[in-house]
Amino acid sequence: MNYLRTAILLAGLTALFMGVGYLIGGASGAMIALVIAAATNLFTYWNSDRMVLSMYGAHEVDRRSAPELVGLVAELAGRAGLPMPRVFLIDEPQPNAFATGRNPENAAVAVTVGLMNQLSREELAGVIAHELAHIKHHDTLLMTLTATIAGAISMLAQFGMFFGGNRDNNGPGIVGSILMMILAPLGAMLVQMAISRTREYAADNLGARIAGQPMWLASALLKIESAAHQVPNLEAERNPATAHMFIINPLSGHGVDNLFATHPSTQNRIAALRQLAAELGGAQAAPSVGANENYPPQGPWGRSSSHGPSRGPARGPWG
């Protein structure tokens, strides 16, 4: 998806926010909603990284406290032509990761303890390269803004349930208020998902090129997908609006699929990475979803996964 379409979808979210404001308070309500949206976006622009990192209890690490992790991020950032982002560790058993920050100069990469414990060094490199791709594409700010606006629409729609009338047209009425409370957040979620899912494909592609081996990321996605179904992320469950920021959906409720998914299917992402590997001339046997459910946990500096070298450190273009 190109940036023009992304901008249109983001504008659609803002318009939906104003529409809910109009139903609650007429023209003045729409203007108030526009002001709130602008103020919210401005606040998010300057504070998005601190907000999300604090929400997940992330603590910053450096070359003294996590030399291998920070060194790997530095090597990949240099390969991507990016400034060195801050690196954070989240005390969370579910393997996952996300990037945040308003621009590449003020970016952060956060990984969970579970990710460090269960991925090989090559797989971890694929995940970090994916997050660096989000930073290079300026997706981190975009996805935080969509989460903020979508959350504000949900709150405003619920607020309108109690204050649905205005002097000009008496509001949408009780039936209209109920529909607004249901449909407005649904519409916001659909737009949010459309933005998130397409940006994931782009980050997979660039991230694989940064790491130099698309199948490292494919193998990592398979492991994270399997673990995410088994290990709950309680903080993500309490803040579902942030789920799309992670490399794999951290939420345990996977009853809804396709239309309401925060991420593209792992099968489709692996297929795209396999095609890219073939194009780059380094195709390896692609993992199949569900074939690695009982993989043994491996630390990032232990033995490589079955999709990479069998022993010793990875010899990719970054190391």
Q: SS3 string of 4-54?
A: HHHHHHHHHHHHHHHHHHHHHHHHHHHHHHHHHHHHHHHHHHHHHHHHHHH
pLDDT at 176: 54
Residue 115 Cα distances to 6, 48, 58, 69, 89, angstroms: 30, 23, 14, 11, 10
Is the pLDDT reported for residue 151 higher than 70? no
Most confidently modeled of 9-18, 60-69, 227-236, 280-289?
Answer: 60-69
pLDDT bucket at 35, cuts 50 / 70 / 90? confident
Note the pLDDT tens digit of each residue in 243-258.
888 999 898 754 444 4
Q: Which of 131, 225, 237, 293 is catalytic?
A: 131
Q: How far is the CA of 213 from the CAs of 45, 202, 220, 284, in angstroms?
A: 33, 16, 12, 9
Segment 276-283 mean pLDDT:
80
Q: Per-residue DSSP letters for 215-284?
A: HHHHHHHHHHHHHHTTS--HHHHH-GGGGGGBSS---S---S-GGG-SS--HHHHHHHHHHHHHHHT---
Mean pLDDT along residues 256-275: 78
**Which of these, 151, 216, 165, lies nearest to 23 by C-alpha position?**
165
Kindly tell me if the per-residue pLDDT of 205 is higher than 70: yes
Phi-psi map region of 303: left, alpha, beta (phi>0 left; psi -120 to 50 alpha): beta
Q: In whole angstroms, what separates CA 192 from the centre of its chain?
A: 11
Whole-number Cα distances in Å, 251 to 52, 56, 254, 261, 319: 16, 14, 7, 10, 34
pLDDT value at residue 43: 72
Specify the pLDDT at position 113: 97
Split at pLDDT 50, 70, 90, the class of 140 is: confident
From residue 250, alpha-carbon distances to 231, 237, 253, 297 in Å are: 9, 8, 9, 18
User: Residue 266: its pLDDT value, please?
Assistant: 92
**Nearest to 266, CA basis, from 236, 226, 293:** 226
For residue 234 the two structure tokens come to 């309680």
Average pLDDT, stretch 4-22? 68
- The answer on pLDDT for 315 being more than 50 is no
Q: What is the mean pLDDT of the chain?
A: 76
Average pLDDT rounded to a whole number, residues 37-42: 72
Single-letter code of the amino acid located at 113: V
**In which band, very low, low, confident or very high, does the pLDDT at 56 lie, cut at 50, 70 and 90?**
very high
192: its two tokens:
């949010």
Q: What is the pLDDT of residue 73?
A: 98
What does the alpha-carbon distance between residue 163 and residue 268 come to, in Å, rounded to a whole number? 44
- The residue among 182, 200, 192 whose CA lies nearest residue 260 is 192
Contacts 24+ apart (CB under 8 A), 32-36: 33/156, 36/152
CA atoms within 13 A on the CB side of 67: 1
| Annotation marks residue 225 as catalytic | no
3-state SS class at 206: helix
The pLDDT assigned to 293 comes to 38
| Cβ 138 vs Cβ 48: under 8 Å | no
Mean pLDDT of 148-155: 65
Give the range among 6-15, 150-159, 287-296 with minimum mean pLDDT. 287-296
* Bigger pLDDT: 309 vs 152: 152
* Arithmetic mean of pLDDT, 288-304: 41
**With 90 as the cut, is the pLDDT of residue 302 above it?**
no
Q: What's the whole-model pTM score?
A: 0.72
CA 6/CA 145 separation, integer angstroms: 12
Q: Whole-angstrom Cα distance, residue 100 to residue 108? A: 5
The mean pLDDT value for 224-229 works out to 90
- CA-nearest of 22, 5, 36, 7 to 151 is 36
Question: What percentage of the chain carries pLDDT values higher than 70?
Answer: 61
Residue 232, beta-bridge partner list: none
